[in-house]
Chains A and B, each alone.
Chain A
C-alpha cells in the first residue's frame, strides 16, 4: 500500500501568496477572538473554588443553578461535565470563607434536594497563584522559542530558526484563538498541551528543513532554483508528514474520546495544534524561508566534505 503516488514535485512555493493570505486571515481572526472574547481562564488562573459532583441519576442543571445562586456567592457557574451525571460548580473567591466551608454549604444545599449527589473533587486556588502561573507560562514560551532559535541557528541557519519559530507561534495563536472563540476552559493542562504543540510543531518544520538542507547539498539538485528545491523537499517528506501526524492525531483523538473531562482540554489543544502543525510547517515556515531569502550558499558553505557540490 502506498498512499502518496506523487509523480512530480508539487509547486507549493507558487501557492505562496494564497497560503500567506490564509495564514494571515486565520491569524488575524484568532487574535481578534482573543481580544474580543478573551480566554475562558480556568480556576488555576483566576482563583476560586471548583467542585465536581456526581449524581446517581441524571442531574438537573437548572435546578442546581437556582440552588447555588440562592446561596448568593456572586458569579457561580454550573455546567455539565461530559456526562449528564457529572456536574461542575465553579465559585469565585469569597472573603472570610474557606473553600471547605464553601463546598460544604453548597453540598448541603444540593443534598437537601437530591441526596444521591457525591462530591468527587474540590479545588480551591487563591488569587495570588494565578498571576504567577501566567508569568511562568509566558517565561516558558519565551524560553522554548529562544532555545529552539538557538539550536536551529546552530544546526541550520538563522533564517530557518526564525521561520520555524514564527510558524510555531502561528499555531499557538490559532489554538488560543479557537479556545477563545468557543470559550473552552483554558487551564493548566491546556497550557501544557499548547507548550507541547510548540515542541511538536517545530519538530515538523525541522524535518522539512532537514530535507531542504540535504537537497541544497545534493549534486542532483544543482540546476534547480531555490523554490524548486524547497518544493522537492516538501513533496519528498509529504508522505511521512501525513502518516506521522495521522498517528499522533490518532493517539490524541483517543485521548479526546476516552480520556474523559480531565484530559479533554489537553487533547483538544493538541488536536487543533497537530492539524495546524501540518499546515504551518509546510505552508508557513517554507514560504517564510523563501521570503527571508535563503540561498544555496547559506547552507552549503560550512560543509567542507561535500565541497564538490558547491563548485
Chain B
C-alpha cells in the first residue's frame, strides 16, 4: 500500500531535477558588462552598431568575453571592472552622443542553462541599490491645460467663422462662451459641436445667452490616460539620458508612475533630468549658399547656427544654416500624430495651440518661398528634422511636416514631439535611495537568517523524528529548491520582504511534515502495523494540511491584491511558497518514505523516534 506507481516517482524526479537546474543560475554570479542602447528614438541599435562597438573596444586593446545583441541593445561582457570602465570610455568616444553607454552586470549563466530559459532571480532595488521614485501625475493640471486648449480652439474657430462672441471664459471644469442673443447661440451651436465632437456642449438661452462646454466622463478618462501615457514616454526618453542599464518605468494605479533606476546614486541629478524638457523649435533657414559655405569653413555668420539636416531614411546628414532666433517651440504643440500627406508621403501632423497657431500663421505668411526648419532639440543638441519651403500661409494651427521621412521615422518623430513635454506636471510622492552596500548587507542578512533557521529546524527534525525527520528535512530542502527555481524561472523580483517570506514559508511548511509524523506516531500508538500507520498517517493528515494551507493561501492572496510595495513582494513569494510546500511535504516526502519502507516485506518498526505508549492501552 505504500508503493507509488512509476509515473509518480518520475514526476517527483523530474520536478526536483528541473528545480535544481533552474535554481543553478543563481550561483554563477555576475560579471561586469557594458550595455549600448539608443539614446534617441531616431537612432536604432542593430548589427552594425555591434560591429562598430566591437571594433572600438578592440582598438582600445580590450577583448570582450562575450558579445550579445538582443534586438534593442548590445552588451559586451568583460573579465574585470577595470576593463569594463576602459571599454565604456572607449565606446562613448567612438559612438558619440547618439547612444547610451551604461555599466551593467550580466549574469554568468552558462549558455546551456540559458538555452532552457534558466536565469538568476531578479533582485529588487532594496537588494542591489538604486533609486526609486513614485511620481503622481497632476490630473488637475492636465485638465486645466486641456480646458485652456479648448477655450483657445473655440476662440479661433469663432473668429474664423466670423461669429461675434462676448468672451470665452474657462471655469473650474467647463468653458463658457458668452453670446449676444439666442439667435447667435443657435448659429454657434453647430460650429462648436463640429469642432469638439467628443465634448458635451449645452446651449443656455434666456437671461444670459451662452454655450457651456464640459468634459464628459469618458473624455476625462481618456484625457487622464493619455496624460499618464505621454508622461511615461517622456520619462523613458529622459531616463535613457541617465545611462541606466535596466530602468523600470511603469504605471501604477490610475495616475501614478514608478521609476526605478538601479545603480544610480545621485538622486539630485536623476530628478533634474527627469524634470527636463526635450522639445521642438521652429526657426528660419538662411539659404544664402555663401553663408553656408563660410559656416562649413568654420566661420559661422552672426545670428545663425550651423546644424545638420537628416535626409532620407538612411539618415544621411546634410549641413544647414539656421537663424538663432526661435520662432516657435514645442510648448505650443498640443499633439503630434504620424500620418500621410496628399502625395502619400509619410508625415507628422502637428496640432498647435492657439498662440502657436497665430504665430505660425504670421510666420508662414511673411516667409512665403523661404524655408522653415523644424528642429528637434534633445540633450541640448538640435537637429533639423525637415526644412520645407513655405508655399502658402498656414493657418488653423495644423502643421504638416513631410520631408523625406519613412513611415517608421514619422512615427518616431511624432512620438518624440509628443514626448518632448510632459502632459501634466508630476509630483514625487515617494522616493527611496538605497546604497549598494546596504543592498549587499540585506542579501547577506536575509540569506543568513534563512540558513540558520533552516539548519535549526532540520537538526531538530532529525533528532526528534529520526529517519522520518530526515525525510522531512530533505523534502523541506526540496521545497526551498522548488520555490527558488519557480521565482527565478517566472522572473519575479526578489526583495527583502521576499526573502523574509521564503524564510517564513519554510518555517510554516514544516507544519505539514510535523502533522504527518505525529499522525503516524499516533497510529502506531493505537497499535497499527507500520505499513498501515504510514498509509493512514498520510491520508488522515492530508485533510488537515489542505485546510490549513488553503486558509493561509486566502490570506496570501488578499495581501497580493491589496498590498503595495513591500507587502506585495512578500505576498507573491508567500503564495508560491505555500503551493510548493504542499507538493514537497506531501508528494515528495511520501515518495521518499515509500522508497525506504514501502518495498520491505516484513516491516516491524519505523524509525520515527520513540513512540511512547501510555500504561493503559488505548487511552
Contacts and interface: CB of A to CB of B under 8 A. Distances in A.
B1 interface: no
B577 to A, nearest CB: 11
A125 B498 CA distance: 21
Interface in A87-126: 98-101, 103-104, 118-126
Contacts of A58: none
Given A2-B609, A104-B268, A155-B547, A198 B429 contact: no
A254 B271 contact: no
A225 to B, nearest CB: 17
A119 to B, nearest CB: 7
Given A152-B551, A254-B456, A122 B508 contact: no
Nearest to B560: A140
Given A206-B551, A210-B543, A243-B518, A270 B563 contact: no
B144 to A, nearest CB: 19
B267 interface: yes
Contact of B432 (A101, A123, A187, A262): A123
Interface string B365-380: 0000000000000000
B431 A99 contact: yes
A192 B563 contact: yes
Interface in A223-260: 236-237, 239-240, 243-244, 246-255, 257-260
B511 A248 contact: yes
B496 A2 contact: no
A148 B554 contact: yes
B611 interface: yes
B427 interface: yes
28 contacts: A7-B614, A118-B435, A122-B433, A123-B433, A124-B431, A126-B428, A129-B430, A143-B561, A192-B570, A199-B551, A199-B554, A203-B549, A206-B547, A211-B544, A239-B518, A244-B511, A247-B460, A247-B510, A248-B510, A249-B507, A250-B456, A250-B460, A251-B503, A254-B449, A258-B448, A258-B449, A263-B445, A263-B500
B465 to A, nearest CB: 9
Given A128-B136, A189-B497, A251-B507, A140 B562 contact: yes
> Which of B437, B450, B508 is most buried by chain A, counting CB atoms within 10 A of its CB?
B508
> Which of A52, A144, A151, A192 is most buried by chain B, counting CB atoms within 10 A of its CB?
A192
B556 interface: yes
A250 B507 contact: yes
Contact of B562 (A2, A99, A123, A143): A143
Contacts of A266: 497, 500
B275 to A, nearest CB: 10
Nearest to B502: A251
B504 interface: yes
A309 interface: no
Interface string B538-569: 00100110011111111111110111111100
A189 to B, nearest CB: 5
Contacts of B442: 260, 262
B542 to A, nearest CB: 11
Contacts of A198: 555
Nearest to B562: A140
Interface string B451-477: 011101100110110000000000000
Given A252-B504, A255-B503, A262-B445, 15 more contacts: A119-B433, A123-B432, A143-B561, A189-B496, A195-B563, A206-B544, A207-B544, A210-B544, A239-B518, A243-B514, A246-B460, A248-B508, A251-B457, A260-B442, A262-B126
Contact of B434 (A44, A121, A147, A214): A121
B562 A136 contact: yes
Given A128-B429, A243-B518, A196 B574 contact: yes
Interface of B: 126, 134, 136, 267-268, 271, 427-435, 437-438, 441-442, 445-446, 448-450, 452-454, 456-457, 460-461, 463-464, 496-497, 500, 503-504, 506-508, 510-511, 514-515, 518, 521-522, 540, 543-544, 547-559, 561-567, 570-571, 574, 609-612, 614-616, 619
A252 B452 CA distance: 10
8 nearest A-B pairs in the assembled complex, by CB-CB distance: A199-B555, A251-B507, A126-B429, A254-B453, A251-B453, A248-B507, A140-B562, A124-B431
A75 B126 CA distance: 27
A36 interface: no
Contacts of B611: 2
Contacts of A123: 431-433
A20 interface: no
Contacts of A152: 551
Nearest to A126: B429
B515 A240 contact: yes
A288 B606 CA distance: 39
Contact of A259 (B446, B457, B463, B508): B446
Contacts of A3: 464
A110 to B, nearest CB: 15
B507 A247 contact: yes
Nearest to B547: A206
B559 A195 contact: yes
A244 to B, nearest CB: 4
Nearest to A253: B453
Interface string A25-42: 000000000000000000
Given A121-B433, A188-B566, A262-B445, A196 B427 contact: no
B464 A243 contact: yes
A251 B506 contact: yes
A18 interface: no
A298 interface: no
Contacts of B428: 98-99, 124, 126
> Which of B134, B506, B550, B551 is most buried by chain A, counting CB atoms within 10 A of its CB?
B551
A124 B511 CA distance: 40
Contacts of B557: 147
A255 B559 CA distance: 21
Given A196-B570, A250-B507, A262-B496, A257 B563 contact: no
Contacts of A251: 449-450, 453-454, 456-457, 503-504, 506-507
A128 B430 CA distance: 10
A271 B204 CA distance: 68
Contacts of A188: 565-567
A200 interface: yes
Contacts of A270: 504
B566 A236 contact: no
Nearest to A259: B449
Nearest to A138: B562
B511 A203 contact: yes
A7 B456 CA distance: 30
A248 B506 CA distance: 8
Contacts of B432: 121-124
B449 A263 contact: yes
B463 A1 contact: yes
A210 B512 CA distance: 14
